[in-house]
Chain A
Amino acid sequence: MTKDEHHARFDAWLTEHSAMLHHVVNGFAIGPDRADLRQELLLALWHAAPAFRGAARSSTFVYRVAHNAALTWSRSLRNYRQRIERFESLVPPSAAEPPVGGATESRELLDLLYARIHALPPVDRSLILLHLDGASYAEIAEIHGLTETNVGVRLNRLKHKLTASMQEISHELH
């Protein structure tokens, strides 16, 4: 793969899957950690791009790389503070990370949803994020190396759990 092809593929993925990457970043990290995790995801995609042979759908490939990187992400504490400070200094106010919550109802719901997702164990978090992003059970099973039945069972349980906890919060608020 030539350097130009590498750049072109990476750019195309970034544009096509920007929403999914945004979801993974917000689903696995909070606050300044998001900038660090985003860099990790982008680096993982950058390194993985030449390995894509087209055998799987590009979305499946990108999901797998991004979720893999997020699940195995461990901050390097030594340089961590330095990196966060550098990212913060790079971010102009207009391009700052949008708050997940906000004034609108949709934003409030998103805020609560992300909070509930953060409370889940890492693998369950990844499963629900993939499901919300529209990945099929077969795709999720392939990405995680689980059986479709197992994915179905776990997702049903997770959906009930999420709905119940969101309803509980909603009752408390109203």
Chain B
Amino acid sequence: MNFTDFESAWHSTHNRPTSAQLEHQKMEFIAELRRRRRGNFLFLILSGLPLVLFTILVVRHFVSPDPAHTPIDLSREWGLIPLYLLPWSGWIYIVRAHRCHCARHAHPDRSIHASVAALLDENRSERARCRFIAGLLLASLLVLPVLVLQLRAAGKAGDEIFVPFLVLFPAILLGIVGGIAVHYRRKLLPRQKELQALLASYDP
């Protein structure tokens, strides 16, 4: 038995799909593509809609303020700004991460070695982003007591905001940070090791 025997077995008809199987694979792929597109669309709509509605309410408040309520004074109640921007930055981060995940094959003109190195770089940036976002969320925990003080000083809120602002919202933020930590440890770190091992196997 020599290598030529393997080559003739390799090129035999047993080692290729039949036309019926090929047709079936195409159908299967089209169904999968449609399913993924639907999933992406739903993901963007469901995750972005609450933020769009929230933004419309904020814009409406500034454009045509309700005369029954005191208008927001951002020089005094600036704590609202990070509170408004944080969910949007979180959404942009999630959408970017999702797009990177969907376009993870997008280096067709590079060699595989260069492509793996690029994936490793992306993994490094992704881990740095994760740490940054988690840090930002933890820092926002410090903004919350300031915001509570500002709202109470402006006479816009009483003791009723203690539970949502100092218990519920921090619990949600900590939950998100926990999710990021799980993603970091269970996906990004193992992926980093996988890619490093693959890159190392190119060394003679």
- CB-CB < 8 A to B15: which residues of A? 19, 22-23, 110
Q: How does the 8 Å CB contact mask read for A7-44 relative to B, with 1 for contact and 0 for none?
A: 00001001100110011000000000001001100111
Q: How does the 8 Å CB contact mask read for B94-118 relative to A, with 1 for contact and 0 for none?
A: 0000000001111111111111100
Given A68-B112, A144-B112, answer yes or no on A122-B12 (Cβ-Cβ < 8 Å).
Answer: no
Q: How far is the CA of A162 from the CA of B26 in the complex (A)?
A: 33
Q: Indicate if the CB atoms of A109 and B108 lie closer than 8 Å.
A: no
Q: Indicate if the CB atoms of A159 and B12 lie closer than 8 Å.
A: no
Q: Indicate if the CB atoms of B108 and A64 lie closer than 8 Å.
A: yes
In residues 102-156 of chain B, which contact A (Cβ within 8 Å)?
103-116, 119
Q: Chain B residue with minimal CB distance to A144? A: B112
Given A106-B9, A121-B201, A144-B113, answer yes or no on A39-B29 (Cβ-Cβ < 8 Å).
Answer: yes
Q: How far is the CA of A74 from the CA of B151 in the complex (A)?
A: 49
Q: How does the 8 Å CB contact mask read for B1-42 relative to A, with 1 for contact and 0 for none?
A: 111011111101011111011101110110111001000000
- CB-CB < 8 A to B115: which residues of A? 68, 72
A119 close to chain B: CB less than 8 A: no
* Residues of A contacting B: mostly: helix
A2 close to chain B: CB less than 8 A: no
Q: Chain A residue with minimal CB distance to B199? A: A123
The residue that B112 contacts in the complex, of A64, A94, A98, with Cβ under 8 A, is A64
Q: How far is the CA of A64 from the CA of B105 in the complex (A)?
A: 11
Number of interface residues of A (CB under 8 A): 62
In residues 65-110 of chain A, which contact B (Cβ within 8 Å)?
65, 67-69, 71-72, 74, 87, 90-92, 94-95, 97-98, 102, 104, 106-107, 109-110
Q: Chain A residue with minimal CB distance to B8? A: A106
Q: Indicate if the CB atoms of A110 and B12 lie closer than 8 Å.
A: yes
Q: Indicate if the CB atoms of A72 and B195 lie closer than 8 Å.
A: yes
Q: Indicate if the CB atoms of A74 and B191 lie closer than 8 Å.
A: yes
Q: Indicate if the CB atoms of B114 and A145 lie closer than 8 Å.
A: yes
Return A125 CB to nearest CB of chain B, in Å.
Answer: 10
B44 close to chain A: CB less than 8 A: no
Q: Indicate if the CB atoms of A65 and B108 lie closer than 8 Å.
A: yes
* 9 tightest A-B CB contacts, nearest first: A145-B111, A145-B113, A44-B105, A48-B108, A19-B16, A95-B24, A109-B9, A42-B29, A123-B201
